[in-house]
Amino acid sequence: MAGYKGQQGRKPKLALKHKLDGTYREDRHGNRLESIAFNSSPLQLEPPASLREDGKAQWQQVMDTLPDTVLKNCDEGKLYQLAFIRQQLNDVQIAIESSPLDDKLVKLYLDLSKNYDRIGKQFGLSPIDRASLKVEQPQKNDDPFSEFMKANLG
């Protein structure tokens, strides 16, 4: 089956691939994450103190990867979940190394991995996920009547 579970259609092409193939269109592919120029991010969410160093490293990796127009303050909870699950994965991986035949640990690791991948898709942690992320562009108001009304009523 083409694409990802829960998504219809085929996997999206990277904008760079569209450019190489000669099928790039600014109106369709220009707002993808990889097409946006990276600037210094004005939104700097700080990792919570409850995260360990490995969780804070995951937090910072996501913050450094995404451009400033993607993350909003409301994303802090999901970002915390991602970093916390990364910590748990590290702990379970160490436990599996000491007792590799423990089925409960392996099942826990697989469950945590699924959750990590599910949340990671929302932040574009894989190349295919980054290709499907769209970045909000500021909307221009080209309606002169609404501008006139705002100027006279506001």
- Between the alpha carbon of residue 148 and those of residues 81, 87, 139, 142, the distances in Å are 46, 54, 17, 11
pTM higher than 0.75: no
Cα gap 69→138, rounded to integer Å: 9
Q: What is the pLDDT of residue 136?
A: 59
> Residue ranges of the domains in the chain?
51-137
Cα–Cα dist 154/28, whole Å: 35
Distance, in Å, from the CA atom of 74 to the CA atom of 123, rounded to the nearest integer, reads 13
Contact present, 31 and 137 (Cβ < 8 Å)? yes
Q: In this structure, what are the phi and psi dihedrals at residue 32, rounded to the nearest 5 degrees?
A: -80, 155
| Cβ neighbours, 10 Å, residue 89 | 18
Alpha-carbon distance of 130 to 118, in angstroms, equals 13
C-alpha to C-alpha distance for 119 and 113, rounded to whole angstroms:
10
Q: Which two tokens stand for residue 51?
A: 């995260």
pLDDT values of the chain reduced to their tens digit, one per residue, 154 residues: 455 566 667 777 777 777 777 888 888 777 766 545 444 444 678 899 999 999 999 999 888 887 766 777 788 899 999 999 999 999 999 999 999 889 999 999 999 999 999 999 888 888 778 777 766 555 565 667 777 777 777 6
